[in-house]
Structure 1
């Protein structure tokens, strides 16, 4: 049995703002609705949406915890009504709608997954958010196939590292943009066929010389929107999942028609619970065996104590990391 206290340590958001707005606090444990499990958190991942929520740009959906934290790993501490897939003490990792920056988190049981064989429980906290995002956008949405070319922007980040590895594991040729050279080296070490230093090279020219990209996963936006269209092959698919350089652009849309391109985007947090449940099943069935076989590996960069969440956010905003940043309660 796992002894459950009445209260837990959390990271509160004092007000929208910079990393200093993240402050240690204490709360009652979350309620445990039917169909959910209460997880004693071993680690929580730090992700781009957390930074946006901290700035007041990505509010929690109705009914979700207002605490930051969209992915966790840990052990089941209690099981809600109608849950028969998990037992107290089970180790898991999970996608959450919020609440990960805490000692305990209530999660939809359908969004929980076993820790892949060979992966440490702490490292497993860095899997759900990026793997859900890449699988749903690149494979389910854009339909990346073996033999096609995938262009990943921001290859050394959490999403980028996952996209590179998944693309290679499923037979794609993968190009990644990054800078400086050590981050490009990190992309190559993950399996990228080419890492393009965006400060010294033009990814449009590189991709055109290679025949163009079939699928482009972009977190940059801004001037990259028009350049992605130029870098895409005929019948290419461009997926926008963030806008680091802005979402308002003026572009000529004619090439989309002439090249028969598909331009789309999505956010994960607001997708229906049933969709997330299907993605979880796909990952366990199709991706987890590749992790167990060593074809894909977690890429944890640094683990901070939960109380140092502000420092973790500063590191992520500095782009001084390669891979995932985690918090340990």
Structure 2
């Protein structure tokens, strides 16, 4: 750490509120602990949890940085105890529990994934959060099988675009919902088999029509609230409903008799508070099953826009406008 600066520029949340509360600040460069590396950050991904944290509704877990940012790409410039010094100079992207909106960020080595030569650093920063989330919720919690049909809400979001791409690579039939005809066209261009404009059509009836009355095997739900009961109507018997966000509200009213009679499974998860050990195991599984597709170019994040770190507020405003297709990243 001797030849590194003591202070760095970061973006902090000055108070809960709108995008304008994201302001530049000077912070001490973090020191990597046991099993950790210090990354000189190239790019940081912007994600919905960052927005919710900015509003004061999603505090960082104990021990995590209060700075926003849950995924980064960068170069190792220092290592903690129990990490080989040969890691210095390695290029990684990483899932972190906070602190990504900064010139330097600490990451656990076992939550880092190597950036192949074929992948740009901006794209690398756009992968961890959505890839970890989709892999865990669709492939592990919903135990998807090749040939099954999945309904994904928010088809052009970072999560939605990753679910489309990963789903098609693993042989799924992917139906998405979007809020406009333009977004539907974008989702189809990403590889979705069908895109439903929920502003113009009843997605429940459309899913039934598209599946010959059978319904989907899985719903990946980011809305919750009043959508849950409608989502369950989209499922076939033995279907699985996975909630990963509650943008439409935390409370849902559902018919439990339907759950029993149709043997439906309701589950969900949030990644940030999970243990470091869990995330390390998840990273291992992704490295084995999905990362080869990144290395050979078959899997790429859908990129929307790159903002400079100093324009983090504009990046958040862009995300909240709902106009983006794919991932927003900050260039450090």
Using the size of structure 1 for normalisation, the TM-score is 0.97
Distance in 2 (alpha carbons) for counterparts of 1:280 and 1:306: 27
Per-residue deviation, residues 78-126 of structure 1 (Å, max 9, x unmatched) = 1111013961111110000100000000111100001145210121000
**Per the alignment, in what secondary structure is the counterpart of residue 290 of structure 2?**
helix
Using the size of structure 2 for normalisation, the TM-score is 0.96
Distance in 2 (alpha carbons) for counterparts of 1:86 and 1:320: 43
**Per the alignment, in what secondary structure is the counterpart of residue 243 of structure 1?**
coil
Q: Please name the residue that 1:261 is paired with.
A: 264
RMSD of aligned C-alpha atoms? 1.5
Q: Please name the residue that 1:216 is paired with.
A: 219
Distance in 1 (alpha carbons) for counterparts of 2:273 and 2:329: 23
Change in CA separation of 1:2 and 1:40 when aligned onto 2, cut-off 3 Å: farther
Q: Which runs of 4+ in 1 moved over 3 A?
A: none
Distance in 2 (alpha carbons) for counterparts of 1:96 and 1:85: 21
Question: Which consecutive unaligned segments of at least 5 residues does structure 1 have?
Answer: none
Correspondences of 1:125-136 after superposition (within 5 Å)? 125-136=125-136
Q: Please name the residue that 1:94 is paired with.
A: 94
How far does residue 2 in structure 1 lie from its aligned partner after superposition? 10
**Per the alignment, in what secondary structure is the counterpart of residue 4 of structure 1?**
coil
Kept in 2, the 8 Å contact 1:240–1:264? The answer is: yes
Correspondences of 1:1-80 after superposition (within 5 Å)? 3-80=3-80
How far does residue 3 in structure 1 lie from its aligned partner after superposition? 4.9
Change in CA separation of 1:229 and 1:117 when aligned onto 2, cut-off 3 Å: farther
Q: Please name the residue that 1:174 is paired with.
A: 174
* Residue 277, structure 1, aligned to residue 280, structure 2: yes
Distance in 2 (alpha carbons) for counterparts of 1:164 and 1:277: 24
How far does residue 250 in structure 1 lie from its aligned partner after superposition? 2.6
**Per the alignment, in what secondary structure is the counterpart of residue 224 of structure 2?**
coil
Q: Please name the residue that 1:123 is paired with.
A: 123
Count of paired positions = 329
* Residue 235, structure 1, aligned to residue 238, structure 2: yes
